[in-house]
Amino acid sequence: MPSAGEAGYEGLEKTNQLIAKTDGADGFPRILDITNRDEEDYRLNYLSCYYEKEEDFVSSLPDREITKDEAVEIGDQLVEKLGFSDWKFYDYTVVKHTEQVFSLFYTPAYEGVQTLRGPMINVKSDDLYAANYYYSEIRIGITNGSVTSVELVSPMDVVKIENPDVETLPFEEIYQAFKNQMQAQFTKTTIIDPEIPGIDEMEMEIRITKIRQGLFRIKEKNNQDDFLVVPVWSFYGTAVVDGSTWTEQEFVMINALDGSVIDTNLGY
């Protein structure tokens, strides 16, 4: 996530940002970036800590390949140390160049139930009910077994529990709502650029590869200050076009309370 200055946000006179340089005990300076904005158009609450010259720090490390489980163990210990023991590991990416680079993602859990990770939304959406606030997560960068960066995005406090024992719809109704939305929303021309030559001859199918149950934050209509966290089912899959499998993505998220579709890009 770029800092407020790098992102080109409008109205920066209403955004507070602190960037500080610190001397690390290991001899490598770090940068602390804190951004805060609480206005009706959009909000920012973001904190990051990273090496000023990460390449210099990484070059000082011995080559060390670790497993995903070892990376998560490092991340878990750091999250616990930072005081976010109720946040849980959600997903990761790994890239192998000359060194091994992990990116770990953590999301908050409430009463032991984890929130699903949302997309990087457009905080400046003109939609009347858009959340305009990034989804909560912690990101941890690990290279050759050492932490290189930490980011905290949109932390939130629980102010009230609306219903401690809420009743959700049976999965059969959730699945029917999912099928209805898939048929209405996804066609060949919504998946493939209709300007591509020969699109009419292309064969396409959507394969659902994963279904996740959890919690998700949505915007409460006509309320600028509070959000709701509701139980959801999310359906992920890939498009297969002429035998080529595309990258996995989220297709539909269903509110488990009423069967409505949640637009995760808008936050409601």
How far from 208 is each of 36, 76, 108, 247, 259, CA to CA, in Å?
Answer: 38, 30, 26, 12, 19
Structure tokens at 125: 């959406």
What number is the average pLDDT over the span 45-59?
94
Predicted confidence (pLDDT) at residue 77 exceeds the cutoff of 90: yes
Supply the pLDDT for residue 127.
80
What number is the average pLDDT over the span 147-154?
97
Supply the pLDDT for residue 98.
64
How far from 178 is each of 140, 161, 190, 192, 251, CA to CA, in Å?
Answer: 33, 28, 17, 21, 9
Q: What residues contact 226, with CB distance under 8 A and at least 6 apart?
A: 159, 220
Return d(Cα 191, Cα 39) in angstroms, integer. Answer: 35
Residue type, 255: N
Return d(Cα 80, Cα 137) in angstroms, integer. Answer: 14
What number is the average pLDDT over the span 228-252?
94
Supply the pLDDT for residue 6.
46
Backbone angles phi, psi at 78, to 5 degrees: -70, -45
Domain ranges of the chain: 4-153, 171-255
Return d(Cα 220, Cα 22) in angstroms, integer. Answer: 40
261 DSSP assignment:
B
What number is the average pLDDT over the span 253-263?
97
Predicted confidence (pLDDT) at residue 234 exceeds the cutoff of 70: yes
Supply the pLDDT for residue 63.
85
Predicted confidence (pLDDT) at residue 3 exceeds the cutoff of 90: no
Return d(Cα 184, Cα 170) in angstroms, integer. Answer: 22
Supply the pLDDT for residue 12.
53
Q: Specify the DSSP element, H or E, that contains 79.
A: helix 68-81
Q: What is the pTM of this model?
A: 0.88
| Terminal-residue alpha carbon distance, the chain | 22
Residues β-bridged to residue 37: 44
| Interval 11-20: pLDDT, tens | 556 788 899 9
157 DSSP assignment:
-
What number is the average pLDDT over the span 205-216?
97
Return d(Cα 120, Cα 123) in angstroms, integer. Answer: 9
Which CATH code for domain 4-153?
3.30.310
The chain-wide mean pLDDT, for the chain, equals 89
Residues β-bridged to residue 241: 204, 244
Q: Put residue 264 in one of left, alpha, beta given phi > 0 → left and psi -120 to 50 → alpha.
A: alpha
Least confident of 26-35, 44-53, 125-134, 140-149: 125-134
Return d(Cα 90, Cα 156) in angstroms, integer. Answer: 18
